Structure 1
Amino acid sequence: MKFFKTYISGKLMLSALISLGLLSSCEKDGNPNNLPDVNPADYEGKIDGYTSSDEIFPRNLVAYWSFDDTKNEVKSNTAPTQTANDSFVDGGVRGKAISLNSGYLYYATQINAFKSDSLKSFTLSQWVKITNNGSKRTMIFQIARPGIFNGSLDFRLNTQSFPATTTNTLRMNPRFTTVGGGSQDNLNSTLSPTIGADKWTHLVLKYETTTGVFNMWADGVNVGSFNNRGVGNNLFKSYEPGEIIIGGNYNTIPGKTIGTDATFANMVGQIDEIRVYNRALPDAHIRALYNLGKANK
């Protein structure tokens, strides 16, 4: 009987020691999957894990305007057909920027990246220096349709809504034409970025064709109020032929006027780093583009 008690006691103690040993082993081994060590030096100088905006989904970047002493769309080397009141200026988000003094850039050449079968989902990112004007709308980027007032995609700013002294509110009202020939839009009815003649503001449109969600971002924040635009006949379509207008629309370009609509004026302000991706970027990468741009990267 004494032996049995001793055996039981010893067995319990052994089990306890094994348990403690296992616990001790778990505490000592903080890398059970044998992952490689992280070297903090590898992340020095990086923002959100990147050293440059160029590292954000480079394979999905299908159109890019750097405005570093060139007005050409960099990926296709497409030159503008017609420009007005435009000049390169120092102090861009990265390098130089384009300044428009009631000006525009017009590209009549069809860029392959904007053909119907090439552009389904998209992210359009650009930096602007803009002010309200109290009288006219501003079109900062348009995938235009020859002979038609509304484009496949219109990035409209309601700069007519407030006077130039209002810098804490910018109403954005982007729209697109659907596969059914209709129209869908968005509006930042509650949230807004701060703007100003001397402030770079980051504006982004993001569209996912599988869900019909059309988001609008400003300075790293999703500010859109009407993001769910539907599928089926409500899906976005990039019609052909397509042209690109930066800073205006057909009714602000001499000789291209369509109808009598006079709600737009050519842009007064600056634009830099226009990037178009053929996918809806994850939210973290939109914020990364904003943070990298603030650091001139």
Structure 2
Amino acid sequence: MKKLFSIYTIALLITSIGLSSCVKKFDPKSYAPPLNINGYTSANQIAPSNLVARWGFNGNLTDSLATATSTTAVGTSYSAGLLGQALQGASSAYALSDVPPAVQNLHSFTFSVWVNMPQNTNGAVGLMDIANDQSGGPGFWGSMAIFFDNGGTANTGVLKVHAFNVAGSPTGIDGWLGGYTVNNPWGGWINVSVTYDDTTSTFVVYYNGGSVGTSTVTGFAPLNWTAAKKMVFGTLQFQTTPSLTANTGAQDWASYQVGATDEVRIYNRALTGVEVSSLVALQRRGK
């Protein structure tokens, strides 16, 4: 009887060890379907052949798609980003870059930028700006300024976009988009994207992947930014030292993005609404 009991006990132990081993080897992740948003499982799957510039700010200011772009940090550092590291701003801080040739030669486009910033209580805050430098004419504003204007509250922000169609020309056309009142822009990661279709002179501004405004600017096309030399992250073109435009210097109603900036992407066509919303949703999930 003791022998039978021992054999039975050993059999149970062997079975238990086998089952335990199977449980340890089972990985639920390998059986779970991958995240799929509108047919995409990664942000890099969205219009990869149209992506012409990307700043990931993972410990450097390099446009990862350009081979000869000079960049300069003025008082910035790096912090935890949406993906990896981010460009960390501060008072009077910003990052300068040459405008990559692929951006100078844009016609239609999409800009996408992520920021995590406190409320702009010190003045209008530029997220990024492509400079428009010329003597005379409308060169006060940049060729592509994405910014939060004054007038927000603790729970809302006033989002504006300014575009200028012929960089360096005193006779170009302004495109003003906004101000759009957006909810909860402070203290967490948000995305602002802007698309432009040169065939129809139409802009669409997106906030966190959803459209907040569409504008057709009569006569804006054709876009010509071949004379745009510099761009800035973290402020507007006239807040740099020296100013990126000969027309004006720093303004007391404007300020700096003292939070973090990450994952700036520029495409050479206007992404669709589905593509923009998919890009934002995937990046927010780290994909």
What range is the shorter-chain TM-score in? Answer: 0.7 to 0.9
Q: Letter of the 1:182 partner, please give it.
A: I
The RMSD of aligned alpha carbons is 2.3
**What does residue 229 of structure 1 align with?**
217
- Cα shift at 1:260: 4.5
Q: Letter of the 1:184 partner, please give it.
A: G
- SS of the aligned residue for 2:160 comes to coil
- Cα shift at 1:47: 3.1
Does residue 121 of structure 1 match 2:112?
Answer: no
Q: Letter of the 2:217 partner, please give it.
A: R
- Cα shift at 1:54: 1.2
**What does residue 34 of structure 1 align with?**
none
Uncovered stretches (5+) of structure 2, i.e. residues with no partner? 1-30
Does residue 140 of structure 1 match 2:100?
Answer: no
Percent identity among equivalent residues?
Answer: 24
Change (3 A) 1:233 1:122: closer
- Cα shift at 1:46: 3.0
Check whether the contact 2:240–2:250 (CA below 8 A) recurs between aligned residues.
no
Check whether the contact 1:104–1:246 (CA below 8 A) recurs between aligned residues.
yes
Which segment drifts farther, 277-286 or 77-86?
A: 77-86
- Cα shift at 1:289: 0.9
Does residue 187 of structure 1 match 2:175?
Answer: no
- 1:210 corresponds, among 179, 196, 199, to 199
**What does residue 45 of structure 1 align with?**
35
TM-score (ref. length: structure 1): 0.75
Does residue 296 of structure 1 match 2:283?
Answer: no
Greater Rg over alpha carbons, structure: 1
Q: C-alpha distance in 2, partners of 1:98/1:261?
A: 22
Q: C-alpha distance in 1, partners of 2:69/2:49?
A: 22
**What does residue 8 of structure 2 align with?**
none
**What does residue 157 of structure 1 align with?**
148
Change (3 A) 1:48 1:96: farther
- SS of the aligned residue for 1:227 comes to strand
Q: C-alpha distance in 1, partners of 2:192/2:67?
A: 24
Q: Deviations over 1:44-98 (max 9, x none)?
A: 33333222211110100000001112211111145554322211112x2211111
**What does residue 264 of structure 2 align with?**
274
Which segment drifts farther, 254-263 or 178-187?
A: 254-263
Q: Deviations over 1:162-217 (max 9, x none)?
A: 35xx12x111110111345121111144x5142222x1001100111111111100
- Cα shift at 1:127: 0.8
- SS of the aligned residue for 1:268 comes to coil
- SS of the aligned residue for 1:145 comes to coil
Q: Letter of the 1:288 partner, please give it.
A: S
Q: Letter of the 2:95 partner, please give it.
A: L
- Cα shift at 1:156: 2.1
- SS of the aligned residue for 2:263 comes to strand
Name whichever structure is richer in strand by fraction.
Answer: 2
Change (3 A) 1:65 1:215: same
Q: Letter of the 1:227 partner, please give it.
A: S
Q: Deviations over 1:1-34 (max 9, x none)?
A: xxxxxxxxxxxxxxxxxxxxxxxxxxxxxxxxxx
Which segment drifts farther, 208-217 or 248-257?
A: 248-257
- Cα shift at 1:157: 1.5
- Cα shift at 1:243: 1.2
Check whether the contact 1:193–1:219 (CA below 8 A) recurs between aligned residues.
no
Change (3 A) 1:243 1:260: closer
Q: Deviations over 1:216-235 (max 9, x none)?
A: 000121012x51222x3565
Q: Letter of the 2:63 partner, please give it.
A: E
Q: C-alpha distance in 2, partners of 1:59/1:192?
A: 31
- Cα shift at 1:134: 3.3
TM-score (ref. length: structure 2): 0.78
